[in-house]
Amino acid sequence: MRNTAKITTAVLAAGALTLGLTACGADKDSASDTSGPLIVAASPVPHAEILTFVKDNLAEKAGLDLEVKEFTDYVTPNTATEDGSVGANFFQTQPYLDDFNKKNGTHIVSVVDVHLEPLGLYSNKVDKADALKNGATIAIPNDTVNEGRSLQLLAANGLLTLKDGVGTAATPQDITKNPKNLKFKELEAAQTPRSLEDVDAAVVNGNYAIEADLKPADDALVLEKAEGNPNNNLLAVKEGQQDDPRVKKLAELLTSPEVKKFIEDKYAGSVLASF
pLDDT: which is higher, 269 or 135: 135
Which domains does the chain show, CATH number per domain? Answer: 5-118+230-273 (3.40.190.10), 120-223 (3.40.190.10)
Average pLDDT over residues 201-214: 93
The answer to whether 153 and 118 are in contact (CB under 8 A) is no
pLDDT: which is higher, 2 or 49: 49
Average pLDDT over residues 76-90: 98
Q: For 156, phi and psi rounded to 5 degrees?
A: -65, -20
Residue 208, pLDDT score: 92
The yes-or-no verdict on residue 52 having pLDDT over 70 is yes
Residue 28, pLDDT score: 45
